Amino acid sequence: MGVIHSLYREPAKVEIDERTCKRCGQCTSICPGEVLTMKDGSVRIRGDSPFGCIACGHCMMVCPEDSVRVTGRGISPEDLLLMPSSEERATVDELGALMRARRSVRRFKEKEVEPELLDRIVDMAASGPMGIPPWDVGCVTVRGQDKVRELADEIIKGYEKFLKIFKPWVFTLMHPFVRQATYQRFKYFIRPLAETYVGCHHEGRDVLFYDAPAVMVFHYSPYADLADATIACVYAMLASESLGLGNTIIGGAAPILQRNKALCQRLGIPEGNTPAIALILGYPATKFRRAIRRSFAAVNTIC
Ligand SMILES: Cc1cc2nc3c(=O)[nH]c(=O)nc-3n(C[C@H](O)[C@H](O)[C@H](O)COP(=O)(O)O)c2cc1C
């Protein structure tokens, strides 16, 4: 049994071509699963490693002789791509400028986002580091302002239900039994946010997805982690930024989606997966003229 994944249970299979292998040991030194080891000057495939091959593909990627084949768990040598040259890669200044210029955008032009751009963003986002390969994360792209609005309407209905149940006196009752920060978050953030979503919706304003022409919803399997989907979302955000699109991470959709199985099914989210975070995208109608310094709440170094 390998590391359990929603689609795979078995470890991947590693093969070494003994005829071409020069026994340089690079594959053995990089293997994170301790599957490949050097013994008596040869590469050995251990059958007793803790998880077996997790299909990270690192051994195939470092082998100077193309002597390693990894297959299974959704990977094969056909997945290998040419390594981008150093000229093709963003410099620290270019990446820093992209990050500094990025702002959350909540006003969009009345222009749809080309499907090819959305596909490219999904492709780029999948290159992020999401836990143990193969990524057990999914992405639903909702394309077109009308479809996004329909989804927003359904989510707002969930907030209407929430407001009916979580009346202010319910928080008062809950207060002694929950952490102070949880109580405060509910009372001073989550309930007012729900009221804002619902109130604006009645005025015909969408302050959940801001009438965006596209939204991506990232979800993760029970064998993955919230962080995996969040990383996918952040990669998609940076990819969309590099393509000249505006975007905002939206946390307000997932709590309702998580409680609406029928809606998840309609979105094609596999049963058992948890919707984690959304990203709205579109051509920005706002132009920011300045960047801003941001900082962490706490920074310390231990040496
Ligand atoms: C996890 C997460 C959830 C967020 N959820 C929302 C949201 O539901 N609605 C929204 O308008 N912005 C949301 N944002 C965006 C933040 O409000 C945004 O980062 C903040 O406005 C700062 O703007 P900046 O991105 O331009 O620095 C979210 C951001 C994160 C990281």
pLDDT of residue 125: 98
Residue whose CA lies nearest to ligand 1 atom number 6:
250
pLDDT of residue 35: 96
The total of other beta-carbon atoms located within 10 Å of residue 35's CB is 25
Distance 117 CA to ligand 1 centre (A): 22
Residue 15: pLDDT over 90 = yes
Give yes or no for residue 249 CB within 6 A of ligand 1: yes
The whole-chain average pLDDT of the chain stands at: 96
Residue whose CA lies nearest to ligand 1 atom number 18:
104
pLDDT of residue 171: 83
Residue 222 CA to residue 227 CA, distance in Å, equals: 12
pLDDT of residue 172: 87
Residue % of the chain over a pLDDT of 90: 90
- Give, rounded to a whole angstrom, the gap between the first and last alpha carbons of the chain: 40
Average pLDDT of the segment spanning 7-32: 96
Beta bridge partners of 247: 104, 281
Residue whose CA lies nearest to ligand 1 atom number 26:
103
Residue % of the chain over a pLDDT of 70: 100
Average pLDDT of the segment spanning 25-44: 94
Domains and CATH numbers, the chain: 13-79 (3.30.70.20), 99-286 (3.40.109.10)
Closest of 243, 234, 267 to residue 253, by C-alpha: 267
Residue 239 CA to residue 92 CA, distance in Å, equals: 16
Give yes or no for residue 26 CB within 6 A of ligand 1: no
Q: What is the pLDDT confidence band of residue 166, given thresholds at 50, 70 and 90? A: confident
Give yes or no for residue 53 CB within 6 A of ligand 1: no
Residue 174: pLDDT over 90 = no
The total of other beta-carbon atoms located within 10 Å of residue 57's CB is 20
Q: What is the pLDDT confidence band of residue 170, given thresholds at 50, 70 and 90? A: confident
Give yes or no for residue 246 CB within 6 A of ligand 1: no
Give yes or no for residue 260 CB within 6 A of ligand 1: no
Residue whose CA lies nearest to ligand 1 atom number 10:
250
pLDDT of residue 2: 86
Average pLDDT of the segment spanning 23-46: 94
Residue whose CA lies nearest to ligand 1 atom number 15:
249
Distance 42 CA to ligand 1 centre (A): 52
Closest of 242, 250, 258 to residue 280, by C-alpha: 250
Give yes or no for residue 251 CB within 6 A of ligand 1: yes
Distance 292 CA to ligand 1 centre (A): 15
Residue 107: pLDDT over 90 = yes
Give yes or no for residue 250 CB within 6 A of ligand 1: yes
**Cβ within 8 Å of residue 16, ≥6 positions away:** 27, 36, 43, 45, 67, 68
Q: What is the pLDDT confidence band of residue 302, given thresholds at 50, 70 and 90? A: very high
Cα angle 251, 248, 153 (rounded to 5 degrees) comes to 60
Q: Look up the pTM and report it.
A: 0.95
Rg (CA), the chain: 23
Average pLDDT of the segment spanning 75-82: 96
Give yes or no for residue 149 CB within 6 A of ligand 1: no
Residue whose CA lies nearest to ligand 1 atom number 31:
249
Distance 295 CA to ligand 1 centre (A): 15
Residue 210 CA to residue 248 CA, distance in Å, equals: 10
